[in-house]
């Protein structure tokens, strides 16, 4: 299945939230400093299953360099998307047949699920959880042979970083000095 060959329907950002939730997201967007967190958290408490809120939280935390928090929001988004498309609870059990069996009307959600899984892999890579990242990227490459999601480049980057780390470790002195030694 070509993950680009579909009609975009039911985009998450086209789904309206309660006016209060939308207002909180707008308020956070107007002041994207650390003051934006409180309105986003209020929106989350009002609508914990809203993909609009979860994406906003992910972006806020990512741009604040709070990667663990961004990962939590992204994990929650994957948890919300999974039952919408009938995917297995564990992403590792996801097979091509699961994607092939999804109704064409839900392909937008399938793509969002796969992009969300890619984001989880990327965030874990940034957090130096390379084994988990590699597993995620390998799963995405297996499922997306045409690389429409773009996981192949991240998998190659991960392999390159690992190779550079192995090479650099052989040159690292036995004792590392702190500033002031």
Of the candidate ranges 4-8, 28-32, 152-156, the one whose mean pLDDT is the lowest: 4-8
The pLDDT assigned to 161 comes to: 85
- Which whole number is the average pLDDT over 169-178? 43
For each of the domains in the chain, give its residue range(s) and CATH number, in order of start: 12-165 (1.25.40.10)
The pLDDT assigned to 178 comes to: 39
Q: What percent of the chain has pLDDT over 90?
A: 70
Q: Are 117 and 136 in contact (CB under 8 A)?
A: yes
Q: Are 124 and 71 in contact (CB under 8 A)?
A: yes
Both tokens assigned to 177: 């000095």
The pLDDT assigned to 5 comes to: 52
The pLDDT assigned to 10 comes to: 59
Alpha helix positions (H), the chain? 19-30, 37-46, 51-63, 67-85, 96-100, 107-126, 130-143, 151-169
* pLDDT at 175 > cutoff 90: no
pLDDT band at 165 (very low <50, low <70, confident <90, very high): confident
Global confidence as pTM:
0.83
Q: Which of 138, 134, 123 is nearest to 163 (CA)?
A: 134
The pLDDT assigned to 101 comes to: 92
pLDDT band at 156 (very low <50, low <70, confident <90, very high): very high
- Which whole number is the average pLDDT over 113-122? 96
């Amino acid at each position: 299945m070509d993950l680009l060959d579909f009609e975009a329907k039911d985009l998450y950002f086209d789904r309206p939230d309660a006016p209060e939730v939308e207002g909180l997201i707008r308020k956070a967007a107007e002041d994207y400093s650390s003051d934006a967190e409180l309105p986003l958290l209020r929106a989350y408490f009002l609508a914990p299953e809203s993909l609009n809120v979860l994406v906003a939280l992910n972006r806020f935390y990512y741009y604040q360099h709070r990667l663990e928090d961004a990962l939590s929001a992204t994990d929650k988004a994957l948890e919300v998307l999974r039952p919408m498309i009938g995917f297995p609870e564990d992403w590792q059990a996801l097979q091509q047949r699961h994607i092939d069996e999804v109704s064409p009307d839900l392909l937008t959600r399938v793509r969002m699920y796969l992009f969300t899984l890619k984001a989880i892999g990327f965030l874990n890579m940034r957090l130096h959880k390379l084994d988990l990242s590699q597993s995620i990227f390998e799963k995405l490459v297996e499922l997306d042979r045409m690389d429409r999601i773009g996981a192949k480049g991240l998998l190659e980057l991960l392999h390159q970083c690992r190779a550079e780390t192995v090479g650099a470790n052989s040159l690292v002195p036995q004792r590392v000095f702190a500033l002031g030694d």
